[in-house]
Structure 1
Amino acid sequence: MSRIAAGLLREPRLATVWGERSALAEFSVGGLAGHLAYQVLAIPQIVREPIPMEPTITLLEHYARVQWIDAKLDDEISVRIRAGGDQLAVDGPQALAEQLDAAIQQLESDLSTTPDRSVRISLWGPWSLMLDDMLVTRMMELAVHSDDLAVSLGVPTPAFPDSAMQVVVDLLTRLALRRHGQTPVLRALSRSERSPASIAAF
């Protein structure tokens, strides 16, 4: 998934709209590209760090704790996320693409030798995830923000392997069930005449 998402950073139009508003509220196109790249750029450091002391929780418990899901655009966590994307984008699309390509190459080696163990991203809070679960969170972010960036550029959203999208859709469905309940999700997936307006996961 990471190489497919990285292809968006090589789109010729990206440089021309870098400073413009993106399809994601309050993000510039460049900041959104930086946030997309961060989903991969954060991983090499994570897998090299010692096993964290913080408690390890489940994937769904992680999403029950993260602040960004229900945050408003001007909340501190939202501002911090956008600032992180802007910081990564400061040197422009070419530099960001090269940085992302290098991280992907590094991860091809690192992940092949790293066992499924507890890891954490300090931005989340005082808890850890198993590496496999953390990678699921990155897969979801890559899929969602690749769509955001593609729409911002006016290019087709890239297609990811079915196996990867099944993991992403499974996670989003479970989050939608928790947010909306069984009946709305059931109807959205099976009965167009009774489908609710939205079953967005967040």
Structure 2
Amino acid sequence: MTLTFAGTLDHAAVVRAVDALVDLVAAPEVAERWEQESVLPGMTLGGLVRHLVSQPECAVAFLGHGSPPHAQVLSLADYFERVDWLLAPVDAPENTSIRDDFNEMAGPGVEESRGILERSRSELGAAIAAAGPAVYVPWQDCSLERDDFLVVRLMELVVHADDLAVSLGRPTPAFEPEVLEPVLALLAALAARRRGQDDVLRALARTERAGGPVSAF
């Protein structure tokens, strides 16, 4: 069975996942350490925050565009076959360009990013409700099922919320199962693609045979 979340995703939980970011992004240390490096090498704390808040921002923007007739609707597996940063080394241009872009986008400062988060929170529920069945992803010139698109955004949100929490020395937000379970399913599928069936299976099921990294990225 092809991995998909179409028709199964709790849309209200998506909005609540964005709500869970508010206290973290509002932490006073964020403004104090905006220009300092985060736990992601070369990425400032500001760049990380800007990347994090871009997930609901992107969702609101793209949910409203629909899917053009020419765009192929891909499965999640086929979509990630097109993603050039996924298997690239962390210091490869496919990854460093993302880092550098968001470091630059953080230039206006913390209040802009907090404003982006607040606006996207207020608009996301209506944007999801009004969206069509597929969402166009312009940087890959393809479309995803609406719920698959939202799970990709949730995956980015959950992973980078943890990055930010660790950078600040704060607890990672506790995401509810309706958010965490699809994110973990997607990460497990990507990890198996990157690391191979045996390593991921053993890491999840057999501690005595686990060995080597099994991260998706």
TM-score by length of 2: 0.86
Q: Which of these residues, 108, 113, 125, is aligned with residue 108 of structure 1?
A: 125
Q: Which of these residues, 183, 188, 197, is aligned with residue 168 of structure 1?
A: 183
Q: Does 1:181 align with 2:200?
A: no
Q: Which residue of 2 aligns with 1:142?
A: 157
Q: Which residue of 2 aligns with 1:45?
A: 61
Q: Does 1:69 align with 2:103?
A: no
Shift of 1:50: 4.0
Q: Does 1:190 align with 2:211?
A: no
The percentage of counterpart residues that share the same residue type is: 35
Q: Which amino acid aligns with 1:76?
A: P
Shift of 1:173: 0.9
Q: Which amino acid aligns with 1:137?
A: V
Q: Which residue of 2 aligns with 1:121?
A: 137
Distance 1:87 1:106 in 2: 25
45-54 or 22-31, larger mean C-alpha shift: 45-54
Distance 1:4 1:150 in 2: 12
Distance 1:107 1:70 in 2: 31
Q: Does 1:86 align with 2:100?
A: no
Q: Which amino acid aligns with 1:184?
A: D
Q: Which amino acid aligns with 2:39?
A: A
Q: Which residue of 2 aligns with 1:7?
A: 23
Distance 1:43 1:54 in 2: 18
Q: Which of these residues, 148, 151, 158, is aligned with residue 173 of structure 2?
A: 158
Displacement over 6 Å in runs of 4+: none
Q: Which amino acid aligns with 1:145?
A: H
Aligned residue pairs, count: 200
Q: Which residue of 2 aligns with 1:57?
A: 74
Shift of 1:176: 1.4
